Amino acid sequence: MIQNAIVKESVATGVVRVSLMRQLECGMGCSSCSSCTAKPKDEILALAADSVGTQPGDWVEVESNSGSAIGIAMLVYLVPCLMLLIGYFIGQWLGLSEGGSVALAGGALLVSFVPARLLDRAIRRRSAPEFTILGYKRT
């Protein structure tokens, strides 16, 4: 997905911090954004790989590096649902009561959150750029 952003600062060689812009009524076409009252109040900051040599204040187009988003979504949404069902059916297969099967399903659900939590920690530790700068317009 391609979005507009403004370069805030250089973090390291080839990596900059950008402020992601949301689409607004004005189209964000003027050069007086610093005093604009239509801008969103909350900034969304992200890291972007910079191979074009931008400077703070430049308007850029960035593309998300979320190639594995489908796999992550499956891990976060599908696996817990499957574990809930599997836990319940294992409880039934073992001859547990209805309450016991539900308790086993709840335990399986809690266990299924562990891989998602570990993945979240790994992504936060990596702190690699989430976006790639495609082009820029010098202000």
CB 61 within 8 A of CB 135: yes
Two tokens at 71?
């796999």
Q: Which two tokens stand for residue 69?
A: 């988003």
Percentage of the chain lying above the pLDDT 90 cut: 23
Residue 56 — very low, low, confident or very high, per pLDDT cuts 50/70/90?
confident
- Give dist(CA 109, CA 57) in Å, integer: 46
Which CATH class, in words, describes the domain spanning 2-66+127-137? Answer: mainly beta
Which residue spans within 44-97 are E strands per DSSP?
44-49, 59-64
Burial (CB count <10 Å: 0-12, 13-18, 19+), residue 34: exposed
Give the model confidence (pLDDT) of 75-104 as tens digits.
788 889 999 999 999 999 999 999 999 999
What percentage of the chain's residues is helix, strand, coil (to nearest 5)? 40, 25, 35
Instruction: Tell me the domain boundaries of the chain.
Output: 2-66+127-137, 69-126
Amino acid of residue 83: M
Q: What is the pLDDT of residues 119-132, one digit of tens each?
A: 778 877 776 777 78
